[in-house]
Amino acid sequence: MSEHTLAIYPGSFDPITYGHLDIIQRASAVFPRLIVAVLHNPHKKSLFSFDERILLIREVLGHMPNVKIDGFEGLLADYVRSTNAKIIVRGLRAISDFEYEFQMALTNKKICPDVETVFMMSGEQYSYISSRLIKEISMLGGDASYFVPGPVNRELLKKLRK
Ligand code: PNS
């Protein structure tokens, strides 16, 4: 690894959670440069629009000198290639994540053989957090503030009132 090594942390981030933040903080301590790459998929229904997800990540991350936020559309492998990065970072929460992640990592390896997927285990306090459950809790009137930073909870509550 050189002082310029770039890693890509891709995801939907709908919305960003404490679990994602944990991975971003830890990955940015390991890799000299990190891009948080937000998927823009016009065909997939998301609670937060692409722009809202980017704005929330920006607000929550604040200034991290070696972390950039970017968006991508289409194949992750193509995006990674366009950045010249050789590393994809993914968080692994539980065994249940394994199959999906294994499939994605192997598929990406086939399409882009010179790119490695590196997994980081989520911190134990974050190992059960998922954006899907957080949205459900919030939409059903529960308190999601244990799982997401203040600004995300604020926006979840706004969505609820709409
Ligand atoms: O946070 P998520 O939803 O688990 O992230 C999944 C993501 C965005 C990394 C994955 O769906 C993806 O890479 N999508 C882009 C399309 C693509 O490359 N698909 C093939 C993956 S092997």
Q: Residues lining ligand 1, judged by CB closer than 6 Å?
A: 10-12, 39, 75-77, 104, 107-108
Whether 146 is covered by a domain: the verdict is no
Whether 55 is covered by a domain: the verdict is yes
Q: What is the CATH number of the domain that holds 42?
A: 3.40.50.620
User: Domain count of the chain?
Assistant: 1
How many angstroms does the Cα of residue 41 sit away from the middle of ligand 1? 10
Say how many C-beta atoms besides its own lie within 10 A of residue 2's C-beta. Answer: 6
Residues 6 or more apart whose Cβ sits within 8 Å of residue 69: 35, 36, 38, 54, 57, 58, 61
Whether 71 is covered by a domain: the verdict is yes
Whether 83 is covered by a domain: the verdict is yes
Joined together, the tokens standing for residue 75 give: 């194949």
Say how many C-beta atoms besides its own lie within 10 A of residue 136's C-beta. Answer: 12
Amino acid letter, 18: Y
Identify the pLDDT of residue 160. 80
CB-count exposure of residue 83 (10 Å: 0-12, 13-18, 19+):
middle
Joined together, the tokens standing for residue 139 give: 């939409």
Residue 101 domain boundaries: 6-125
Which atom of ligand 1 lies closest to the CA of 77? 18
Whether 27 is covered by a domain: the verdict is yes
Whether 108 is covered by a domain: the verdict is yes
Identify the pLDDT of residue 61. 96
How many angstroms does the Cα of residue 11 sit away from the middle of ligand 1? 6
SS3 for 154? helix
Mind telling me the catalytic residues?
20, 44, 93, 131
State how far the alpha carbon of 109 is from the alpha carbons of 70, 104, 116, in Å.
22, 8, 7
Whether 64 is covered by a domain: the verdict is yes
State the virtual CA torsion across 15, 31, 105, 78 in degrees, nearest 10.
Answer: 80
Whether 101 is covered by a domain: the verdict is yes
Residue nearest to atom 8 of ligand 1 (CA): 11
CA angle centred on 72, ends 161 and 91, rounded to 5°: 80
Residue nearest to atom 2 of ligand 1 (CA): 11
Residue nearest to atom 1 of ligand 1 (CA): 11
Residue from 65, 66, 49, 64 nearest 12 by CA: 49
Per-residue pLDDT of the chain (162 residues; tens, 9 = 90+): 899 999 999 999 999 999 999 999 999 999 999 999 999 999 999 999 999 999 999 999 999 999 999 999 999 999 999 999 999 999 999 888 899 999 999 999 999 999 999 999 988 888 889 999 999 999 999 999 999 999 999 999 998 877
